[in-house]
Amino acid sequence: MTIIAVLLGVALLGGAIWLYNPDLPRTALERRWAPPPSQFVEAAGMRLHVRDTGPRDGLAVLLIHGFGSSLHTWEAWASLLEDRFRVVSLDLPGWGLTGPDPTGDYSDERSVAVLAALLDRLGIAQAAVVGSSMGGRIAWSFAAAEPTRVSKLVLMAPDGFASLGREYGRAPERLPWLMRLLPYTAPKSLLRRTMQNAYAVHGALTDAVVERYHAMLLAPGVRRAILDRMLQTRLVPPEPILATIRAPVLLLWGEWDGAVPASHSADYERALPDARTVILPGIGHVPMEEAPEASAQALRIFLESKTED
């Protein structure tokens, strides 16, 4: 072995050690990121990180976060809604302080079962269901599978239609080697760069927001669960499923969404029997973080509107 090869090996090893990010201790994470009103609820064989605020007799609103996120994304909305509504949010299986699903199942069907079990555990027979991005796909899957449990449905830039090279019925057989490094390294600077496309409002992506997302990414087992979910996710043609949803639907989109463009709302309008669209000007992929007052107001108007029998 030449001296150059030795030096190169040492450099690569040093770089790997420098980039290594181990999981953070659960106790410390829960102390920092799960103060009241956070609670941990046993449902579907899982310990779910949940927040449940607002009047017990108010209309229940179930908030489902998107890929890479956590219930913290809804904090501003909760404070704006809990005067009238019972606001329930959770870290989905595989994310945040809920952490990995012991079943190892990250299919949408499993997510639907977990949500139903959580509502049962909280004594909620019916709720308005709100889902963002990946959570939007889970929300409309839940509305189709559990129609009597959904009074209204809000889809915020929902996932579900095949695009950007994805195909129906197929999951990736393997992940790119860079993705396979995720359980071992997750530089905060790289996370910030990947998040920038989701935020259109200047100043919304603060250091505090990046710190929170990074901490949730380093929760025990979450990065491995992300890879498992990606390998298990198989899109199905959504039109036949969406056509069965009878609950009124609000499609809520940011005008400058760089992740799922607002033009995609037309696909859902064509497929859903009862849908209306609100485009929020100057906002990106996470309206509840970028413009909580404006987006929560659009939600309140929809939830408080009368619907025909």
The confidence band for 180, taking pLDDT boundaries of 50, 70 and 90, is confident
Q: Using one digit for the tens of pLDDT, what is the confidence trace for 192-215? A: 999 999 999 999 999 999 999 999
State how far the Cα of 157 lies from the Cα of 286, in Å rounded to an integer: 9
| Residue 9 pLDDT > 50 | no
Q: What is the mean pLDDT of residues 45-73?
A: 97
Predicted pLDDT at 175: 72
In angstroms, rounded to a whole number, what is the distance separating the alpha carbons of residues 241 and 60?
Answer: 24
165 confidence band (pLDDT: 50, 70, 90): low
At residue 186, the pLDDT reads 86
What is the predicted pLDDT for the residue at 28?
Answer: 98
pLDDT of residue 96: 98
The secondary structure of the chain as a DSSP string is: --HHHHHHHHHHHHHHHHHB-PPPPHHHHHHHH--TTEEEEEETTEEEEEEEES-TTSPEEEEE--TT--GGGGHHHHHHHTTTSEEEEEPPTTSTTT---TT---SHHHHHHHHHHHHHHHT-S-EEEEEETHHHHHHHHHHHH-GGGEEEEEEES---S--TT--BT---SS--HHHHTTTTB--HHHHHHHHGGG--STT-S-HHHHHHHHHHHTSTTHHHHHHHHHHH--B--SHHHHTT--S-EEEEEETT-SSS-GGGHHHHHHH-SSEEEEEETT--S-HHHHSHHHHHHHHHHHHHS----
pTM: 0.91
Class of domain 23-304: alpha beta
Cα→Cα distances 254→57, 120, 301, Å = 31, 33, 17
Q: Is it the case that residue 8 has pLDDT exceeding 80?
A: no
Report pLDDT digits (tens) over 210-229: 999 999 999 999 999 999 99
pLDDT at 173: 63
Please report the pLDDT score of residue 176 as a whole number: 73
More confident residue, 181 or 111: 111
Q: In the chain, where are the structural domains located? A: 23-304
For 231-269, the pLDDT digits (tens) are 898 889 999 999 999 999 999 999 999 999 999 999 999
Q: Mean pLDDT, to the nearest integer, of 89-109?
A: 97
| pLDDT at residue 17, rounded to an integer | 46
Percent of the chain residues past pLDDT 90, beyond the cut = 81
Does the structure show a pLDDT above 50 at 2? no
Higher pLDDT, 10 or 225: 225
